[in-house]
Structure 1
Amino acid sequence: MALPFEILLGIYLGVLTGIIPAVIAGLLGFVFKYFTGVTIPGLGVVVLALAIAGVNGGLMALADENIQTSENAVAVVTAIIVVLMLSLYAHSQGDKLGANVPRKISLRKFRDRTLNTDVVELVGGRNQVRVTVIGEIGDLEGYPPLTTADRTAIKEGEWTFPADIPIEELETRFADRLRSELDLADVSANITTDAKATVSAAPPAGSTSKRVPKGKRAVSISAVIPGGLARGEHVQILTKNGSIAGELIAAKSGEKKKDKEKEAEATATTDVQTDGGTDSASGATQPLTTGGEGRITVAVPRSAAKTLLQSERGTVIVLSRGTRREFELATILRQAGARLKKVTVVAGGPLDGTTIGENRVRETYRVVIIAAKHERWQVTPSGSQPLSAGDDLYVIGTQDDLRSFTEAAA
């Protein structure tokens, strides 16, 4: 058989037997590169391609006796070369495709729609869009219907936003603005590319329900309301059916000499001090009752709500909030000339690596350690309490004694 004919036969056989190995090599290269970032070695591709091509060639040899003769050795070698070339090329293309295809495809990208250019306005050197509400304002399931005033405010309001943001972001900003400006409980908005919006909203939620603690009920009763009360005050209401203690939620009263419809929650300007007692925030406003005949709303336990509901009128007694014991203790210590100070044990100091008893802290420094942190906090530590660098100590004593102890700890 002539050499050119054998070469052509080899190319023909290589193409027939190399298609399937090339497809498999390309798919494997893509899968490995896309999911693992690993490239299959060329030797592995060669072995895999020859194995698959050998199976294909064997089947072809069984079907054609001419392929079985030894005179076609050149054709077989040529076919092997063609198979390897096709497989390596397909593998390189699959590997390249696996490296370029993005691994994270977000559905959000499909929603990043932008507005049409004909609705964009240039104002002050910036592009902006005016959102127009169309159709009826819908109600949200689970909420009461909107009032006519709220529907009119949404419909006739002027809503302008930057035009260089996606429509999804524009919908979020529009809903947030409606909630903040109209005090709506919830808003759902859909905006088209022409800046047309359809809105469904829920009316503002009542302020009283937000202040009722869990497990309690808010009940209103007529009474003479003391002046200067604020929300959160603890009061006791005396009725014919019994005495009930509760927390003040709201109150409305009017002085006899003034209009009875006057709001009892008048705003009083007071000076407020911080816990430190040094900085002040003057001019802060706090709702306070003006006093007089009216109705008071208190949060009471469920069992006591029935008692107030059965009473037409009650007497309001304001309960003392009391003083926190720790602040009272600090006041007593100051009056006695003692101070409370936090001291940290320093590495290499006299206290480092010793115990409270070994240093005879009370006798030597005339101070009392009321709490120590060595791995964990210990209140009123004993003499065997170890001390090491970094331990925090709360010490009570006079200013001079505390100064001496601080120098020793350092």
Structure 2
Amino acid sequence: MIEVTTEIIVGVAFGLVVAIGPAIAVGTLGAAGAYLGRGLSRPESVAIALSLAVGNGYAIGVVGPQIIDVRTQTPRLLVATAIVALLAMYANSLGARIASELPIGSSFPLVRNRSLSPESLESVDASGQVTIQSTGDVRDIEGYPPLSPRVRHVLEQGSWRVPADLSLPELERRLEQRLRTTENLAAVSVSIDGTGRATIAAAPPASEVASRVPDGWRAVSVPALVPSGAVPGEEIVVYTRDGAVTGSLLETNDGDRIGRVNDGTIGGEKCVTVAVPIADAESVLRTDRCRLGVRPQRASETVEALALLERADCSIGRVTGGELTAILEDDHERADVWPIVADSSESREVDTERPRQWVVEPAIADLATDDDVFVVAESLTVDRIREGNESTASSASSISDREIESTIPPAEPEGNR
């Protein structure tokens, strides 16, 4: 029994000694054959390995006439042969696998940014767009107030159509720009994984009152007699016991704020929020009841410009670069549409936190398909453009290539007129 065990151990040792070199040779031949399309079969790999093992053993003195006695050394020879055969087959399969996994002959992409996974690309529609869905958990950004329930619901339940051929960083940048514009967000961060799931962190716009207070001024709330017709945003004079203080009307207790539509009927006793210089804030707060006077000022240049357009029976409309190109190709409308300003921020590799970049009187050839363009045209022409945009938005099969459009529409959008 001891002799048999000894013969097995010696056979394993002999097999490992003489099989290492042949196994490396068989693995190399197997890899080369697999690359050339003609791999080695198991019998071929075993035959080559045994031939090389005998030669290797004779070269190192393991195999020789003095030790070859088949009757007495049969166990060790069988074990050594089995070791050589097993290592040969393993080396052959390993070489074939390495040859199939090596990127030999494949070209590497020049752009190394990650893109959507092939599983996500299987859902690309006929227009070349894929749906990006929110993970359902919208985080707040530290240092900002929390989102309103409505905006949070839109971001958690929303989905957006995006071009499928863009890299993930570009998709994230475009979706951030879209959300910042459509939802009026002060800050937004989007992270899209390979499966098309977007993790969103967003912050609402800063307090409107605080953003309207100039440097070196303070916003104070006092009861005052408001002139009839005064609206937030007007320059006022606050009459206190210590004298007159120049300021700006920010808000009334009826909820009128700068930027909201007002019918011009506010007036009388109200609690108002006004912006005044820091040095005068204390005197305003010491007064129990102030009087407000409205200072004369010129009409807004924006209002004057819109009034001139209205008298000329013209309006301002918003189109994309691709829609503008199609309009200008129409001989009936080519002379009636003039591009005045374009937003090219979505086509620039820049920081997404910066404000939008407007180009005045843009060149048509420089506009991308998804650039926002404001045009001046006759009122009927602008109405036709708006009707075309509304009919396009109502059809799921004709979504524009430039829109990363949420399936949950924003609340009560207003037209540009």
* Same fold by TM-score greater than 0.5: no
Q: Comparing both chains, which one has the higher relative contact order based on Cα–Cα distances under 8 Å and sequence gaps of 6 or more? A: 2
Which of the pair is proportionally richer in strand? 1
> Which of structures 1 and 2 has the bigger CA Rg?
1
**Shorter-chain TM-score range:** 0.3 to 0.5
